[in-house]
Structure 1
């Protein structure tokens, strides 16, 4: 399996519901380093996994929808604990939509899966991997 990873970051505000979250039940900020890894069994006709420029641009666009936002205010997240794990899935699903729409180029239609990792710090991160 071949893979290509592109990286960006986003800053959000949010709060959580539930005792397990302790002080994070209060509104707080989070900065995430975001890695999006695109994988496929064989390289495309150009001997690449995916166009690195398009992958970078599309990750930036997806993150731009969330960056500098209070996630508690977004209707699609109303009443949802926007944990690191949950947000990794949101980003992966939105990138998958862009693969299917052709936004990452025709060669990207041969991708097998996407893994998105959100790093909260140098000691904690979460990932979500999905098939395409």
Structure 2
């Protein structure tokens, strides 16, 4: 199973406060453990929402809202993509993670859909397209 691990933003991360050298070193060691265990597939930190935008869809209309966005606790400051045998394994890894922010912080764990989760809506043609795109992405890595 694949899981998206979402590091929630804080006032500090939204203000552009960069992590300390110590935290970067601790996260580097943790990421190394994840890679060696075959868990980590991707992971990155994100710039504050002030450097981003949101696009709202309403039928054929698109409305762009530039950042920053309110409600810091609902924003994402970084992510990992992990391959784990279960939600419990992902939880166990997150519990080993250094605190990603100074002070209190929160990490959310969400399972990523697989093709099988879509049932009959995932036709053989759509599955072939999915497989082709994944192979193309892997070739660019």
**TM-score normalized by structure 1?**
0.33
Structure (1 or 2) with the greater helix fraction: 2
Larger Rg: 2
**TM-score normalized by structure 2?**
0.32
Select the structure with the greater relative contact order (CA < 8 A; seq sep ≥ 6): 2
